[in-house]
Amino acid sequence: MSNSGLHANRNFLLLWSGNATSLVGFHGVRIAYPLLVLAVTGSPAAAGWIGFALSLPGLIFQLPAGVVADGPHRVRTLIRCQYLGLAATGVVAIAVAAQLPSLWLILMAAAFIEGSVFVFGGLCELGVIRDVVAPEHRPAAFSFLEAEQPIAILIGRATGAAIYGAARWLPFVANAVSYLYCLVTLLLIRSNVVDAQASTQATGRRDVSDGVRVVWAEPFLRMSTMISGLSNIVIQVVLLLILVELDGSGYPTWTVGAVLGAAGVGGLFGAAAASWLTARVSPRLVYRGALWAWTALLAPIALSDNPFVLAACWCGVGGVGVVTNVAMTIYRVEVIPEQTLLRAIATMTLVCDGAVALGALGAGYLLATVGTVPTRWIVLGAMCALAVYASTRAATAVEDDLADAPS
């Protein structure tokens, strides 16, 4: 599929470049926040609370964010999010430079605000992409959207850690600049986009439960949401497994970052391939193929702790994940009624985010209880079971999948 339509779409380019830049700043301070708390308090527990403050809005506000994103003023919501994020990170930069007392409380509040901006902004951005991009260009647009995360992770983590070493307040200033840039790009989006949203969407009462009902009523959405949650738990266990194995094998600390950062590299390759692949293969086939691909990629991890092997497999995991996300986004936009789309996506995201939190918590207990070697085989067996289950459930629908595949 050609991306020429997107390259000529001024509103899309403004939206994407602004939000991608803002994400780079956000991932930079996601590194700076815990480093700063550790430097101020010396407490790993306090650093953990900062991570919790950043993640908590994803569990609290996901469904309300879906209601807001399904409303008529998505661009305005994105603009307000940039103002809030700019204020929060600006306060932190000033507080750090001035060495204000009770700094960790200021950091907690700012982290919570930035996490909330991330939740509301992500859903509204998806809705605006649907508003400004023609249907035939949406697969490519969703590929660009998925590329934002690996780009932001790669650039944000590297630059955030580097400039923190120069000055503790510097990552927050850089984050403020990224918010400002995003704010300017959003303000430059043509006003007819906002007018179109207001004129084409119902302004009546929007119920959070509408999204839940849509997901529950559609069999593939219901099944894929459940399996995605379970597979997220497995992936979180694998992530901690890799970290523990590398840390205990005497490799330099940067090795851990290089191996885990490989998922970002894979994500970029996945985003580049997603548009081509999703134009030729139905989303349901992509989803089932992804589960088998993840199973195959976890097999070498079960057999080796070599960092090169781990990095290659983790790169593949990231790439498959991005392709799957693009395929599922296309499917959701096609089958979910427009007036409830973002609430339904918020419901599915809540399940997946909750699974990530549960997986991160359970991974530590699993490794502490059974050790690394049995954990390798447990995660491989769990992912294989999910792939078998998905394939078994879908066996009677193969003909439908082939019929649905674009010609």
Per-residue model confidence as pLDDT tens digits over 212-230: 888 888 889 999 999 999 9
| Model confidence pLDDT, tens digit, residues 386-402 | 999 998 886 544 444 44
Predicted pLDDT at 258? 76
More confident residue, 45 or 92: 92
Q: Is the pLDDT of residue 405 over 70?
A: no
Residue 365 confidence class, pLDDT cut points 50, 70, 90:
confident
Both structure tokens of 163: 């400039």
Looking only at Cα atoms, what is the longest distance across the chain?
65
Per-residue pLDDT at 299: 94
Nearest-CA neighbor of 154 among 251, 263, 242, 21? 263
- Predicted pLDDT of residue 370: 87
Task: Read off the pLDDT of each residue in 100-122 and give the average, rounded to a whole number.
Answer: 90
Could you tell me which CATH class the domain 207-407 is placed in? Answer: mainly alpha
Task: Tally the residues of the chain.
Answer: 407
Side-chain-side CA neighbours of 18 within 13 Å: the count stands at 27
Gap between the Cα atoms of 45 and 34, Å rounded: 10
Class of domain 1-202: mainly alpha
177-206: average pLDDT: 70
Domain ranges of the chain: 1-202, 207-407
Helix (H), strand (E), coil (C) string for the chain: CCCHHHHCCHHHHHHHHHHHHHHHHHHHHHHHHHHHHHHHHCCHHHHHHHHHHHHHHHHHCHHHHHHHHCCCCHHHHHHHHHHHHHHHHHHHHHHHHHCCCCHHHHHHHHHHHHHHHHHHHHHHHHHHHHHHCCHHHHHHHHHHHHHHHHHHHHHHHHHHHHHHHHCCCHHHHHHHHHHHHHHHHHHHCCHHHHHHHHHHCCCCCCCHHHHHHHHHHCHHHHHHHHHHHHHHHHHHHHHHHHHHHHHHCCCCHHHHHHHHHHHHHHHHHHHHHHHHHHCCCCHHHHHHHHHHHHHHHHHHHHHCCCHHHHHHHHHHHHHHHHHHHHHHHHHHHHHCCHHHHHHHHHHHHHHHHHHHHHHHHHHHHHHHHHCHHHHHHHHHHHHHHHHHHHHHHHHHHHHHHHHHCCC
Residue 304 phi/psi, 5° resolution?
A: -150, 150
Q: What mean pLDDT, rounded, does the chain reach? A: 84
Q: How far apart are CA 222 and CA 204, in angstroms?
A: 27
* Band of residue 287 on the pLDDT scale cut at 50, 70, 90: very high
Considering just the CA atoms, what is the radius of gyration of the chain in Å? Answer: 21
Kindly provide the b/e burial profile for residues 267-292, where b requires at least 16 CB atoms within 10 angstroms of the residue's own CB: bbbbbeebbebbeebbbbbbbbbbbb
Whether pLDDT at 357 is above 80: no
Confidence of residue 44 (pLDDT cuts 50, 70, 90): low
Record the tokens describing residue 272, joined without a space: 């580049």
Nearest-angstrom CA–CA distance, 181 and 17: 9
1-202 and 207-407: identical CATH topology: yes
Give the pLDDT confidence score for residue 205 in this predicted structure: 52
Q: Looking at residues 186-198, what average pLDDT do you find?
A: 66
Q: What pLDDT was estimated at residue 70?
A: 85
pLDDT of residue 394: 64
Beta-carbon count within 10 A of 12 CB: 24
pLDDT at 153: 76
d(CA 177, CA 28) in angstroms, rounded, equals: 12
As a whole number of angstroms, the distance between CA 375 and CA 369 comes to: 9
Q: Which residue has the higher pLDDT, 264 or 76?
A: 76
**C-beta separation of 22 from 150 below 8 A:** no
% of residues, the chain, pLDDT over 90: 32
Contact by Cβ (8 Å): 344, 336: yes
